[in-house]
């Protein structure tokens, strides 16, 4: 199995260009199933989650071509099946978006239950609640979900989510776009990638309003036509490089970002003592002195993202005093990386939803294991900041979501390489 070898201790310096948002594109690619004709999608990250989704769509008879390293042309007009290959679907968490997209296109779907990062129990009851409200019959087993039009047919409905769920919001939007009538999602998630999906669908002819607020309205349309769309930059990839700059004591210009999407991260890093300068589409992160302890609680957007929990924990591990980090989205997420960070010298005590992190002057290189995507990213940051050599194993998780990680970090002065065992 491949791993990363990182010789730590070099502050990151220079510029890095952020790729398109993973969590947006994994919604937009299934959304192309609703479009008749060719979609040209720009700023697509070439990461393994995207490649798996494309494999799934190809196996269903979609045609696609990479026009350049980040531009994809895709035409799903020839797709006839509403049953994607389960051996591919189970490799990917976001494959659950095929449920909403196929229900929207064909009025039925048979989709295996998703795989991906299992850092917590990740129920999909809110997705199912949405499909039922839209008039679907739902047959759920331990292995798959089968959706079909119920006796009264499929049509728009008012759905109030019991928990703020990104996945359920997106799946209901996908299912409802081509349905007759109006769908209203209350208590919707507000993440930037929800707005991006709505913008993509509207560009192709959908009528969606309110994305980015807690009430999303979808007026069903008869058909969507092809067009061109540019995916937003990845909030979490940007946040990861920002945290890496802070942890290593560097000076990094993070380019191709939307600073507004990063405010929740910027605020916390400033509180720690980092100097952050915002420009129109880039952000400069500098750290000179020591870091101060902070308190962070993860929350749905616009709060501090759970997907940045592990990376900020590395910064806290290097701050003066005791920082507190509370997880309110996925309680068990600490278990993916805290023991690995402790083996590098971090001092972390977990008590239920809250971790208390007593800062230390130095982390030390050793062999650690990535247990999920963001945990892996945090261990890479820890390795970059640590004294000595760190080996990060299980890197297929990291490669799910970070495009050209080695290349980008090397350009910033990191000593990191991928080695095959």
Of 59-67, 177-185, 305-313, 337-345, which part binds ligand UD1 (CB under 6 A)?
305-313
* Binding residue (CB under 6 A) for ligand UD1 from 26, 159, 257, 398: 26
Across 223-279, the runs of DSSP E, i.e. the strands, are: 224-230, 251-255, 275-278
Binding-site string for ligand UD1 from residue 325 to residue 364, where x marks contact by CB under 6 A and - marks none: ----xx----------------------------------
Q: Distance between CA atoms of 308 and 265, rounded to whole angstroms?
A: 8
Q: Is 180 one of the binding residues for ligand UD1 (CB under 6 A)?
A: no
* Binding residue (CB under 6 A) for ligand UD1 from 52, 62, 82, 94: 94
Is residue 117 annotated as part of the catalytic site, yes or no?
yes
Query: What phi and psi, each to the nearest 5 degrees, are found at residue 414?
Result: -75, 150
Q: Is 307 one of the binding residues for ligand UD1 (CB under 6 A)?
A: yes
- Which positions ≥6 away from 214 have C-beta within 8 Å? 164, 186, 187, 188, 190
Report how far apart, in Å, the C-alpha atoms of 51 and of each of 65, 95, 235, 265 are.
12, 12, 20, 29
Minimum CB–partner distance for residue 55 and ligand UD1 (Å): 17
Q: Is 84 one of the binding residues for ligand UD1 (CB under 6 A)?
A: no
* Binding residue (CB under 6 A) for ligand UD1 from 40, 58, 108, 122: 122
Measured from the CB atom, the residue of 166 and 208 that comes closer to ligand UD1 is: 166
Q: Is 163 one of the binding residues for ligand UD1 (CB under 6 A)?
A: yes
Q: Is 171 one of the binding residues for ligand UD1 (CB under 6 A)?
A: no
- Which positions ≥6 away from 317 have C-beta within 8 Å? 341, 346, 347, 348, 357, 359, 360, 363, 382
**Residue 231 near residue 70 (C-beta atoms within 8 A):** no
Q: Distance between CA atoms of 109 and 112, rounded to whole angstroms?
A: 10
Which of 39, 117, 313, 338 does the annotation list as catalytic? 117
**Nearest one of 317, 297, 306 to 246, comparing CA atoms:** 317
Q: Is 123 one of the binding residues for ligand UD1 (CB under 6 A)?
A: yes
Residues 126-145 that bind ligand UD1 (CB under 6 A): 126-127
Positions annotated as catalytic residues are 117
Task: Give the footprint of ligand UD1 on this chain (CB under 6 A).
Answer: 23, 26, 93-94, 122-127, 163, 165-168, 189, 305-307, 329-330
């Amino acid at each position: 199995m491949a791993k990363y070898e990182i010789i730590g201790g070099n502050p990151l310096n220079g510029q890095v260009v952020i790729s398109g948002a993973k969590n947006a594109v994994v919604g937009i690619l299934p959304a192309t199933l609703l479009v008749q004709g060719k979609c040209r999608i720009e700023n697509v990250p070439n990461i393994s989650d995207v490649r798996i989704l494309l494999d799934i769509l190809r196996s269903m008879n979609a045609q696609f071509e990479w026009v350049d390293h980040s531009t994809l042309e895709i035409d799903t007009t020839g797709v006839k099946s509403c049953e994607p290959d389960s051996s591919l679907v189970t490799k990917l968490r976001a494959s659950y978006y095929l449920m909403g997209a196929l229900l929207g296109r064909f009025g039925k779907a048979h989709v295996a239950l998703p795989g991906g990062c299992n850092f917590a129990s990740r129920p999909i009851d809110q997705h199912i609640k949405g499909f039922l409200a839209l008039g679907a019959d739902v047959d759920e087993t331990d292995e798959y979900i089968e959706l079909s039009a119920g006796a009264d047919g499929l049509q728009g409905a008012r759905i109030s989510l019991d928990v703020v769920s990104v996945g359920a919001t997106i799946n209901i939007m996908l299912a409802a776009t081509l349905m007759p009538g109006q769908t209203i999602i209350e208590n919707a998630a507000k993440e930037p990638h929800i707005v991006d999906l709505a913008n993509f669908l509207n560009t192709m002819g959908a009528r969606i309003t309110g994305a980015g607020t807690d009430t999303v309205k979808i007026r069903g349309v008869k058909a969507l036509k092809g067009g061109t769309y540019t995916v937003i930059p990845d909030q979490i990839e940007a946040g990861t490089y920002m945290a890496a700059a802070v942890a290593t004591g560097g000076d990094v210009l993070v380019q191709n970002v939307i600073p507004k999407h990063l405010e929740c991260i910027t605020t916390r890093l400033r509180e720690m003592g980092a100097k952050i300068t915002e420009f129109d589409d880039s952000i400069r992160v500098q750290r000179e002195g020591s870091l101060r302890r902070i308190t962070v609680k993860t929350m749905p957007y616009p709060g501090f993202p759970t997907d940045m929990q592990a990376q900020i924990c590395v910064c806290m591990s290097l701050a003066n005093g005791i920082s507190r980090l509370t997880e309110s989205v996925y309680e068990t997420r600490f278990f993916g990386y805290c023991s690995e960070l402790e083996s590098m010298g971090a001092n972390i005590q977990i008590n239920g939803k809250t971790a208390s992190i007593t800062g230390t002057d130095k982390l030390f290189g050793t062999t650690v294991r990535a247990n999920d995507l963001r945990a892996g990213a945090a261990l890479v940051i820890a390795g970059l900041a640590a004294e000595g050599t760190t080996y990060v194993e299980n890197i297929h998780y990291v490669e799910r979501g970070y495009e050209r990680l080695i290349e980008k970090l090397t350009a910033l002065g990191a000593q990191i390489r991928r080695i095959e065992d």
